[in-house]
Chains A and B, each alone.
Chain A
Amino acid sequence: MKRRGTFLLVAALVLSMAGVLFAGGAKEQKEIVLNFPSFWVGQDSKAGPVAELITKFNADNAGKIKIVVEENPSPDPYRTKINASLAAGAVPDLFIFNPDPTSFQYYDGEILMDFTEELKGEWAKDFQEGYIQASTKKGRTKTVPYEIGITPIWYNSELFKKAGISEFPKTFDEFWVACDKLKAAGIVPTSQMTGGVNAWTSMLWYSHILASIGGPDVWNRPLTHPQYVEAAKILLRLYSDGNTTKDAVGGDAGVSGGHYLAGRTAIFINGPWYIGRAKKDAPAVHAATQLAFAPAVKGGTYGGLIGFQLSNLAAANTKDQAKREATLKFFRWMTKPENVKMISERSGAMFALKYQLGDNVDPLLKRFVEISNQAKFIVPHFQSQYPVHVTQELGQAIGAMVLGKATPEEFVQFLIRANK
């Protein structure tokens, strides 16, 4: 009995090893296999359409190229894994790149495939203005711009009506009056959060306020510029006098979004990817949601919008010309305007490419496109301008300021110290 078990085990091992060997040998001659660790799988809204595109690509290139998706459903561990494999010297064939100053350090080595030449030619015409340039460092474009996001203000027009407010305030003076009216009607004005890895909702508020103060040049100013303190003062007020929920300090995206969807708060900020969630879980709130520009600070601009690159496509540097060609072919396929249009219409995601949405899309998604066309200027968010350690300190610093442990000036000092 025992002996038979051992025999079976050994036999199974030998067989499986032989299988791997044969499979490997066969592949080498016939087709190029590209491994693609991806978090656009599982519950991600883009999972379905992206999988269809990859299946179609594999079918069209059968016997020549095969994309093998390695499913890593959650983005934070995904990033951990990519970082660790890069540090260990193993770059995945294809992967999703997070365009922030920390990850742009990948550009320094020779590990990424360089797309500089290709993205100067015919291919470049497919992209919206500015994104290729934003993905170029020291003259090299080593990732392909892909998913983008814009994050206007969301507000619940039904709750506004209930509080007797006819339209979204255009200045902060009007905004505080509106907040008081909302509170008088028993509604908490805004959703905020200091938790999660990046204090997402409040980080976007901070970015909006800064954009109103600084205009299109806002990010050319160093952290020592007074605009950061001025914006912090407004952010602090958003957290004070009952202008947000009691659980905002330490709250995460579930808290911030949950309050808005539950109709407890009237004002929220997020990107188009949240539309599907709102529609499914809170159809009434989804129907009542309108989009707006952030109110302007005194002397600041109105009509600026926060928009940023969410994910780029990256690949391992290789000397194998065939592999390079295969990678390019795949990325061209994924960035084809009609293909991104398909993903966009089905998932609510937005892309750095030129495409026109059809008529049957969600009305809220349409409003996203409209507001982005109306914007006087679009600037990225705070998070894309500073390394991850500064963004992470932002949530901690907001907490300290709101809890009275730091003044707005000290709040900015925390950021400066983290940025050193």
Chain B
Amino acid sequence: MKKTRETKTHYKTSTATITLNRELVERLRYAAEWKGIPFEEAAGKAVTEYLGRFGIEKVRAEQAIFEKMRPALLEKYRGQYVAVHNGQVVESAPDLRSLHHKVFVRFGFTPILHIQVTDEPERDIQTRGLRLERSAQ
């Protein structure tokens, strides 16, 4: 049986105690030592990174649902920004900033799609700048 070590994490007023298996603790300790940061900081960074990836994954999934809903949403929300959470429009606003505020008040840090409802499908973002690489002096 693998030995485990308890790790306490704090965020403002909320605290959670989690149990990590020994191997994970050792890997994390090694990473922290190699980076020269405290163990707790390394643990925090690892969780933050995971949550970042989760946010991308969730927003991507919501966006796929949004694309299917887009024609139906046009009637009610044309030109507005909507927040899509678990496949449902949960908030709307005339601009992104107002929408973000409403969503933050209701859902805190939960990753939620914020997108404008328009006729046109999402366009790719273009970058046209060309750079000359500086030659080594």
Q: Do A and B make up one complex?
A: no
On A, residues with C-beta under 8 Å from B are none
On B, residues with C-beta under 8 Å from A are none
